[in-house]
Structure 1
Amino acid sequence: MIFKSKTLTLCFSTPNSRPLISNLLMAQTRPVHSDPPPPLQQHEQQQEVEEEKSSSLSDTAAFRLESPTLCLTGEARIERAWSHWNKLGRPKLIVAPMVDNSELPFRLLCRKYGADAAYTPMLHSRIFNETEKYRNEEFTTCKEDRPLFVQFCANDPDILLDAARRVEPYCDYVDINFGCPQRIARRGNYGAFLMDKLPVVKSLVEKLAMNLHVPVSCKIRVFPKLEDTLSYAKMLEDAGCSLLAVHGRTRDEKDGKKFRADWNAIKAVKNALRIPVLANGNVRHMDDVENCLEETGCDGVLSAESLLENPALFAGFRTAEWIEESTKDGNLDQAHLLVEYLKLCEKYPVPWRMIRSHVHKLLGEWFRIHPSIREELNAQSILTFEFLYGIVNRLREQGVRIPLYQKDTHVTEIPADELASLQAPTASS
């Protein structure tokens, strides 16, 4: 069942639930981009919310905390943090939050290929509260989309709490972004630029920890000095953070190819804290995953940019850039993954700017071989699924194939019938 509440769009598949009006209802033909239909009337929404609370969201309720985190003593808070993490199955392979890129269809694709959990894109808390269209387009989820971190940027505790309360029934953590290093974060006074305003950081975490019934997580970058990073991490834990993700680069180290993430700093944070800690940075294939977990002692790893190029990374696939003697053709390529992604977008619509971005990320190397096809894509102001499937078919007709590779120790068999289903539909299909 597809469910649209007063505040956000959700997608559920429960056998005995009646269909509800939603901006995600599928047409029989492949849709083109259009504005969502008018929202439901308020009384209809309220009725549907109550029905959903008693049926489809029963699994979610099982993971809700009995009381807010800061209502407990320090030791009990640590025990609860680990109890919740254990209930989720201690996920190790996690899709990092990426603005416009870690939306529902992409998260589901990564989950199919080994991801244990995922973050939403960073959501702007104030805009999320004020704009229904923003909520409906930027945050969608479904029953299979768990465990899920919903990430917000904010600098006002009350505004952040209002936004968090809208999503807490539908996620496993509400996450606060303290790591965004981009200029827009500087202008908006959020993300990594709150590292200069630690009292604000503390107030944001405490506000959620004192009022939410799901745990609060945080994602940070490191300071240039290790002692500052450790003090920062301890402050977050004491403020009520139940899980901390640490990006091993500083705020000024934006280029992941130029600056290596500091796994030693992440290890030091892990050793200093008592809550679960995740590592972010330098994860390009499964050997990196294993090395990172071993070197840092962390409870899981996040990958971002590498997943955009290769959503099957966590299933052991790697791009040609990381070929070794023991690697071989994995019988999968990025065009197959793009077709899967597009089919998910047909089922769970997202803004076309997100889809366009994934097409470029997945087919970037293919477009270098045939730049005229890329130029045709760039010139297309209004996209359709037919057009994008046609791009894939044209590249195939040109004889382009850039396989993904696997090491013998990371082989994932893909059945032949499943591979056949990954072909791009033709105009006649």
Structure 2
Amino acid sequence: MGISFSDKIILAPMVRVGTLPMRLLALDYGADIVYCEELVDIKMLQCKRVVNEVLQTVDYVSPTERIVFQTCEREKGCVVFQMGTADAKRALAVAKLVENDVAAIDVNMGCPKEYSTKGGMGAALLSSPEKIEEVLKTLVNGISKPVTCKIRILSTVEETVSLVKMIEKTGVSAIAVHGRKKEERPQHPVHCDFIKAIAEAVSIPVIANGGSQEIIREFVDIEAFKSLTAASSVMLARAAMWNPSIFRREGVLSIDDVIHDYIEHAVRYDNHYTNTKYCLCQMLREKLESSLGKKLHAAQSTKEICAVFGMTTFYESCTLSQEARRKSINIISQGTLEVDDDKNEEIVDATQLPVKFEKKDYLPQITPKMVLLEWCRKEKLPQPVYQTVQRSLDRFFHSVVTVNEKKYCSVLWDKSKKLAEQAAAIVCLRTLELPEGKIGEEESDLVHKRKRKMQYQNVGSGNLSEMPQTKKLHQEDDKTEGKDKES
């Protein structure tokens, strides 16, 4: 039996907000259906579907390795995939790509923002009824899952009702109506009379949207908005963005509790920290100038966000669990790892740590590979040898570095050869308890010399050995080398 759109409370599609953590949180609090953010057809068609066994999700991954859409078993029967499209063939291709992972497909015909209207998508479709008809009929006839659309109202009730009756004939299962015209914004009043006229004119479920702030401030107001519009269901956007516990029949929770619950989902599903940060800023919109708000604004990783809200222990526990699972089944977060027997033996012989090279943590001229090379030269060892392979499944890289006849590698795979080799160097340096060149780390003599070398190169094009400044640098380095030999 397919999903029903009658008598439901629904999380609206919201760009940057409607990602997996927010959708799951809305379901936790009582939402019946959740829409993902609008995803453009062309971008989705570039994605590959990857089963992520570590996070137990299905990820649609772009060529740049960015997760464009992520879902999981828990929401499979209630998540609606909303796409931005103005082309029937592309729309059908995307729908076929995702239909087995979602409950329904929705076409965005209401967003007035430029990122949606360019190319004739979003609210721009309202001016092309023939295009609307073509896209919706193609989807209804081409996939097994229900198809819906979301619109804004037109200039008059009559025009709007006429459009909606045409949409109904395409065979869609429901229609969501934002009760504002495309030129109107949240500060303008919602036109409940338009939505009511639509609901009375068609036989399919009508989902009322646009009542946040003006009408809906707590759960009991949802029913009031539903009555005003005579709609079958109600869809919440900003009210849910500001406090997702609006879906709780028992009443809203404090924003502190909501933030804690949201961060738990964000960490468990490895949500990108910039998206997590954006959603938290919406929840803290009235406190962004407070001490807490400023700390959130300054956070540059999920770990730092967790520290702001006193959730470091949870973060460490969760990430350790993920790394252990990742290691035990030999996968990374983007997909299953297929390793041949020879590669397995090579990794088993190596010292392994769950390490990634974060470029922002290191000075450009002092990378872990440089530090390791300088250390080997100082100890009169052969220079490090990197053996790097690329996996055919997702084109990720893994590197094993050999130093003094011992091997070191990260258990994680990375998106470039350079990053994989830097990670292997970090594992070696940490195992040997050597500095790795991180910003803020106390500089070793090797790092000090590396900086000196950069200074030599920048002095000029003359005879460096004859320049007073350069002579002084050489003398200081000679003294340092003498101390090294004595120790």
TM-score by length of structure 2 reads 0.58
The answer on 1:383 being equivalent to 2:301 is: yes
- Residue 199 of structure 2 aligns to which amino acid in structure 1? K
User: Where does residue 484 of structure 2 map in the other structure?
Assistant: none
User: Where does residue 263 of structure 1 map in the other structure?
Assistant: 192
Q: CA deviation at 1:141?
A: 1.4
Instruction: For 1:306-321, list aligned pairs within 5 A.
Output: 306-316=239-249
The answer on 1:346 being equivalent to 2:277 is: no
C-alpha distance in 1 between matches for 2:69 and 2:269: 11
Determine if contact 1:390/1:426 at 8 Å carries over to the other structure.
no
> Please, which of 269, 275, 279 is the counterpart of residue 358 of structure 1?
279
User: Where does residue 180 of structure 1 map in the other structure?
Assistant: 111
Gaps of 5+ in 1: 1-61, 64-83, 319-329, 394-422
Per-residue CA distance 1:238-269 (angstroms, 9 max, x = gap)? 11211100100010012x1x112111110110
> Please, which of 106, 113, 123 is the counterpart of residue 192 of structure 1?
123
C-alpha distance in 1 between matches for 2:315 and 2:148: 46
The answer on 1:142 being equivalent to 2:58 is: no
1:383 and 1:91, CA in 2 relative to 1: closer, same or farther beyond 3 A?
A: farther
User: Where does residue 223 of structure 2 map in the other structure?
Assistant: 290
The answer on 1:155 being equivalent to 2:74 is: no
Per-residue CA distance 1:243-296 (angstroms, 9 max, x = gap)? 100100010012x1x112111110110111111111001133223211111122
TM-score by length of structure 1 reads 0.65
Q: CA deviation at 1:425?
A: 4.2
Per-residue CA distance 1:309-345 (angstroms, 9 max, x = gap)? 1010011477xxxxxxxxxxx6x42122112111111
Q: Does the residue aligned with 2:173 lie in a helix, a strand or coil?
A: strand
C-alpha distance in 2 between matches for 1:193 and 1:364: 30
Q: CA deviation at 1:196?
A: 1.2
Q: CA deviation at 1:303?
A: 0.5
Determine if contact 2:295/2:308 at 8 Å carries over to the other structure.
no
Determine if contact 1:95/1:118 at 8 Å carries over to the other structure.
yes
User: Where does residue 122 of structure 1 map in the other structure?
Assistant: 38
- Residue 378 of structure 1 aligns to which amino acid in structure 2? H
Q: CA deviation at 1:367?
A: 2.9
User: Where does residue 16 of structure 2 map in the other structure?
Assistant: 100
1:166 and 1:114, CA in 2 relative to 1: closer, same or farther beyond 3 A?
A: same
Per-residue CA distance 1:166-190 (angstroms, 9 max, x = gap)? 1111222100000110022232320
Q: Does the residue aligned with 2:181 lie in a helix, a strand or coil?
A: coil
1:384 and 1:286, CA in 2 relative to 1: closer, same or farther beyond 3 A?
A: closer
C-alpha distance in 2 between matches for 1:113 and 1:377: 24
- Residue 348 of structure 1 aligns to which amino acid in structure 2? Y
> Please, which of 220, 233, 236 is the counterpart of residue 164 of structure 2?
233
Q: Count the aligned residue pairs.
A: 298
- Residue 246 of structure 1 aligns to which amino acid in structure 2? V
1:350 and 1:274, CA in 2 relative to 1: closer, same or farther beyond 3 A?
A: same
C-alpha distance in 1 between matches for 2:133 and 2:261: 41
Determine if contact 2:272/2:302 at 8 Å carries over to the other structure.
no
C-alpha distance in 1 between matches for 2:285 and 2:270: 23
C-alpha distance in 1 between matches for 2:316 and 2:98: 41
Q: CA deviation at 1:428?
A: 8.8
C-alpha distance in 2 between matches for 1:181 and 1:294: 27
C-alpha distance in 2 between matches for 1:123 and 1:367: 29
Identical-residue share of aligned pairs (%): 28
Q: Does the residue aligned with 1:377 lie in a helix, a strand or coil?
A: helix
Determine if contact 2:267/2:315 at 8 Å carries over to the other structure.
no
Q: Does the residue aligned with 1:98 lie in a helix, a strand or coil?
A: coil
C-alpha distance in 2 between matches for 1:424 and 1:336: 16
- Residue 307 of structure 1 aligns to which amino acid in structure 2? A
Instruction: For 1:346-425, list aligned pairs within 5 A.
Output: 346-368=267-289, 370=290, 372-380=291-299, 382-385=300-303, 387-393=304-310, 425=313
C-alpha distance in 2 between matches for 1:364 and 1:192: 27
1:426 and 1:154, CA in 2 relative to 1: closer, same or farther beyond 3 A?
A: closer
- Residue 109 of structure 1 aligns to which amino acid in structure 2? L
The answer on 1:281 being equivalent to 2:214 is: no
User: Where does residue 80 of structure 1 map in the other structure?
Assistant: none
Determine if contact 2:148/2:174 at 8 Å carries over to the other structure.
yes
Per-residue CA distance 1:354-387 (angstroms, 9 max, x = gap)? 111111112222333x2x443343344x3123x1
Per-residue CA distance 1:38-92 (angstroms, 9 max, x = gap)? xxxxxxxxxxxxxxxxxxxxxxxx54xxxxxxxxxxxxxxxxxxxx52xx7x451
1:378 and 1:225, CA in 2 relative to 1: closer, same or farther beyond 3 A?
A: same
Q: Does the residue aligned with 1:111 lie in a helix, a strand or coil?
A: helix
> Please, which of 162, 169, 179 is the counterpart of residue 100 of structure 2?
169
Per-residue CA distance 1:184-235 (angstroms, 9 max, x = gap)? 2232320001111111111100110111111110000000211110011011
User: Where does residue 412 of structure 2 map in the other structure?
Assistant: none
The answer on 1:206 being equivalent to 2:137 is: yes
Determine if contact 2:38/2:82 at 8 Å carries over to the other structure.
yes
Per-residue CA distance 1:93-146 (angstroms, 9 max, x = gap)? 100000111111111111111111110111111110023433971211122213
Gaps of 5+ in 2: 49-60, 318-487
C-alpha distance in 2 between matches for 1:280 and 1:428: 40
1:187 and 1:426, CA in 2 relative to 1: closer, same or farther beyond 3 A?
A: closer
User: Where does residue 414 of structure 1 map in the other structure?
Assistant: none
Q: Does the residue aligned with 1:259 lie in a helix, a strand or coil?
A: coil
Larger of the two Rg values belongs to structure:
2
Q: CA deviation at 1:353?
A: 2.4
- Residue 135 of structure 2 aligns to which amino acid in structure 1? L
Determine if contact 1:335/1:362 at 8 Å carries over to the other structure.
no
Q: Which has the higher contact order (CA 8 A, sep 6+)?
A: 1
Determine if contact 1:110/1:311 at 8 Å carries over to the other structure.
yes
